[in-house]
Amino acid sequence: MNIRIPRTVAGVRIPDSTPARQAIELLLDHGTEFLYNHSLRSFVFACLKGQQSQRRYDAELLYISSVFHDLGLTPHYRSADYRFEVDGANAARDFLRSHGLPEPTLQLVWDAVALHTSPGIAEHKEAEVALLNYGVALDVVGRGYEQLDEHLRKEIVGVFPRNGFKATIIPTFFEGFRHKPHTTYGNMNADICAFMMPDFQPGNFCDAILQSPWSE
């Protein structure tokens, strides 16, 4: 994809370091324009939330986390048996390790990507983890929609258009893990499988308890 990346959007500076540029190149090479727009909107939403809440965060790490957060859905990065969030987190960790970043930084970004679909947990973690979860949730399900000024929403969507997002995101998710529906047990991705697969039978935690080999 030949896309010109803006320098700033809604007052948020888009990181332009070597790792940041290489990360976005991976997204453009292995992802889609749809995922690119979603990832960049999520980043800008996350940064604006960070500014509003006066949370200190590393913009470059948040950016790279945003870029990698859905790469686990793509053919290049998806595994046979891990959750797609883990595939993306592993890819982000390997990428940053190749740039010589320290282990605590690798773990922070791994957590941000792996927990981006884990409301109730992510918001209690470090700023980068919590903010990515917020930005993704705002873009996907509109959580916090009214808290963002309309002119900012319009500017962001004008630069990174949604292009039929509601009709596209569910099949995009599904395509990333249709070959491994068992990985959706206990998480929101089971809802995607149930929506797309009429015969899908999600795992049930109560059944797992009652059918365990323990006698009582």
| 60 assigned to some structural domain | yes
How far apart CA 123 and CA 159 sit, in angstroms, is 27
Place of tokens 């797992």: 208
Contact (CB, 8 A) for 192 and 173: yes
1 domain residue, yes or no:
no
Q: Which residue range is the domain that position 126 belongs to? A: 8-162
User: Does the pLDDT at position 1 exceed 90?
Assistant: no
Judge whether 202 lies within some domain.
no
Neighbour tally for 22: CB within 10 Å: 14
Q: What is the pLDDT of residues 79-97, one digit of tens each?
A: 999 999 999 999 999 999 9
Rounded to 5 degrees, what are φ and ψ at 8?
-140, 150
Residue located via tokens 């809440």: 53
Q: Are strands 12-13 and 8-9 parallel, antiparallel or unpaired?
A: antiparallel
SS3 69: coil
pTM of the complete model: 0.96
Is 38 inside a domain boundary?
yes
For the chain, give the longest Cα–Cα distance: 62
Q: Is residue 136 part of a domain?
A: yes
* Enclosing H/E stretch for 186: none
What is the per-residue pLDDT for 172?
Answer: 98
Q: Do 47 and 12 contact (CB within 8 A), yes or no?
A: yes
Decide if 25 is inside a domain.
yes
Where do we find the tokens 């993704």?
Answer: 136
SS3 25: helix
Question: Could you tell me which of 57, 49, 54, 34 has the C-alpha nearest to residue 152?
Answer: 49
CATH number for the domain harbouring residue 93: 1.10.3210
Is residue 208 a part of any domain in this protein?
no
The count of structural domains within the chain is 1
Would you say residue 169 lies in a domain? no
Euclidean distance between CA atoms 15 and 67, whole angstroms? 11
Q: Write out pLDDT tens, residues 18-67.
A: 999 999 999 999 999 999 999 999 999 999 999 999 999 999 999 999 99
